[in-house]
Amino acid sequence: MQPGRGKEEHLPKSLGNQPVVVIGGGIGGLVSALELACAGLEVIVVEKEQNLGGKIRQINCAGHGVDSGPTVFTMRWVFDGIFANAGSQLEDMLKIEPLKILARHAWSKSERLDLFANRDESAKAIEDFAGAAEARRFIEFCEQTRKLYRALEKPYMLSQRPSMMGMMSDLGPTGSKALYEIGLFNDLWKSLGRYFKDPRLHQLFGRYATYCGSSPFQAPATLMLIADVEMQGVWAVQGGMIAITQALTDLARAKGVRFICGVNCDEILQRNRKVSGVRLSNGETIQTQAVIFNGDAMALQTGLLGEANRHASPITQTTRSLSAITWSMYAKPHGFPLIRHNVFFDSDYDSEFTDIFYRKRLPQKPTVYICAQDQTDHHLSHPDGERLLCLVNAPATGDHQQPTLSEIESCQEKSLSLL
């Protein structure tokens, strides 16, 4: 939901005295609730967990809260709009620090590359790392991703309900040219090959496909615009990403949103093929004519919220995006100068995605991401230890084929061996 727009577009014309019920208290649900409350509507959020935030969560490790979900804060302007629409300012609710170094990447002990928020600093680092020709191609890549972002911002990212027809209509000659230039019908990996001849850089920028749970060998070339999104700014949030959840919750409560946590929604009720209420696991029924479901669409399609709701969401493809295995810890790392965001690559990149998407197994040669949450741009020594989240991509089969303990231990051993 774009801040301040489209809040009532798909609601019944008359809600009477009934609230809008939001199922799922993740970030999407919280923002939806806040936006609707700002429009003067009564809103109830139902969340099955005791804590709000969805994927955003912290795990206590040796008395320290470790962010163990999303860790990268970008597109600040979206949150600026959300807070402003609620009569507040982001700076009043959150303490954030812009990062000069977007991420530190390593392939071996002697192969290390930092990408910066400043394009010219990144180009200089790439020149030192891979030569002047690669640096020139990086500049060309940045110019192309900027054009691509501008072309897709209005017709796709800012659209309430983007469609192919609507997007093509809004693109115009300039936007259409930008899509043509990147190779619209190519996968990301193929299009990146036009810019980067050094396999390490090809690998690094192919990593953006994993932001949406995909493989660079299957994802569309348009995902290269994520490089431009990151260069617009990455921030570190004081108190962790959970501070975003708390700020949105506080604003929503102030606007009158009611939260029911630790209670599952068992069924979305219908009468005459229209929503009439929700039935909760505690036996309570809430009468409503409008429900926002902030959850996996497959839960609707498989009838988990009632047989009558199977067709409430369009049937999606059955191929799932990738999942992950994470390790949250308070530890004493040594031997590598960690900054906030760090990525460690194996040389055989194709193998990782073949394992995940085709063999449906944990990767034998994983890429390892580490978020060092007590670091920013400059590595600082923490003799007593620091908060770390380590992540390895994995197939999304955990609901029906859990990896065995030995498989997880093997993956951990391979990950630590790479580090």
Residues in a beta bridge with 390 = 327, 370
197/273 same-domain check: no
- Lowest mean pLDDT across 26-35, 103-112, 122-131, 142-151: 142-151
128/188 same-domain check: yes
Number of domains in the chain: 3
327/352 same-domain check: yes
86/132 same-domain check: no
In 3D space, the residue among 14, 38, 57, 97 whose CA is nearest the CA of residue 288 turns out to be 14
Judged against a pLDDT cut of 80, whether residue 153 lies above it is answered with: no
Judged against a pLDDT cut of 90, whether residue 305 lies above it is answered with: no
Query: What's residue 1's pLDDT?
Result: 44
CATH number at residue 44: 3.50.50.60
Residues of the chain with pLDDT > 90, as a percent, come to 70
**Residue 305, amino acid:** L
Query: What's residue 167's pLDDT?
Result: 59
**Mean per-residue pLDDT for 195-220?**
95
**Residue 53, amino acid:** G
CB atoms within 10 A of CB 304: 16
71/129 same-domain check: no
Query: What's residue 373's pLDDT?
Result: 96
Instruction: Look at 12 and 288; give whichever has higher pLDDT.
Output: 288
Over the chain, what is the mean pLDDT?
A: 90
Judged against a pLDDT cut of 70, whether residue 409 lies above it is answered with: yes
- Lowest mean pLDDT across 18-27, 135-144, 214-223: 214-223
For residue 11, is it within any domain?
no
User: Both tokens of residue 209?
Assistant: 């496909």
In 3D space, the residue among 276, 256, 285 whose CA is nearest the CA of residue 12 turns out to be 276
222/138 same-domain check: yes
Judged against a pLDDT cut of 70, whether residue 277 lies above it is answered with: yes
187/123 same-domain check: yes
| pTM of the predicted protein model | 0.90
Judged against a pLDDT cut of 70, whether residue 183 lies above it is answered with: no
Query: What's residue 155's pLDDT?
Result: 65
Convert the pLDDT of each residue in 35-61 to its tens digit. Answer: 999 999 999 999 999 999 999 999 999
Instruction: Look at 175 and 192; give whichever has higher pLDDT.
Output: 192
Residues of the chain with pLDDT > 70, as a percent, come to 89
Q: Which domain holds residue 393?
A: 319-418
Q: How many helices (H) and strands (E) does the chain have?
A: 13, 17
Query: What's residue 72's pLDDT?
Result: 96
In the chain, what is the greatest distance between 2 CA atoms, to the nearest angstrom? 67
In 3D space, the residue among 244, 250, 243 whose CA is nearest the CA of residue 33 turns out to be 250
For residue 89, is it within any domain?
yes
CB atoms within 10 A of CB 152: 21
34/86 same-domain check: yes
Convert the pLDDT of each residue in 309-355 to its tens digit. Answer: 887 777 666 678 899 999 999 999 988 999 999 999 998 899 999 99
Give φ, ψ of 256 to 5 degrees.
Answer: 100, 5
Query: What's residue 419's pLDDT?
Result: 81
Tell me the pLDDT band of 163, cut-offs 50, 70 and 90. low
For residue 5, is it within any domain?
no
User: Do 310 and 300 form a contact (C-beta atoms < 8 A)?
Assistant: yes
Burial of 167 (0-12, 13-18, 19+ CB in 10 A): middle
Query: What's residue 203's pLDDT?
Result: 96
Among 285, 309, 333, give the residue marking a domain's end.
309
378/285 same-domain check: no
Judged against a pLDDT cut of 60, whether residue 6 lies above it is answered with: no
For residue 100, is it within any domain?
no
For residue 346, is it within any domain?
yes
In 3D space, the residue among 239, 238, 226, 247 whose CA is nearest the CA of residue 99 turns out to be 238
410/340 same-domain check: yes
- Lowest mean pLDDT across 131-135, 161-165, 410-414: 161-165
Judged against a pLDDT cut of 70, whether residue 98 lies above it is answered with: yes
For residue 7, is it within any domain?
no
In angstroms, the CA 86 to CA 248 distance is 10
Tell me the pLDDT band of 10, cut-offs 50, 70 and 90. low
For residue 62, is it within any domain?
yes
Among 231, 260, 284, give the residue marking a domain's end.
231
136/82 same-domain check: no
| Element at 368 (helix H, strand E) | strand 368-372
For residue 405, is it within any domain?
yes
163/217 same-domain check: yes
Among 253, 285, 309, give the residue marking a domain's end.
309
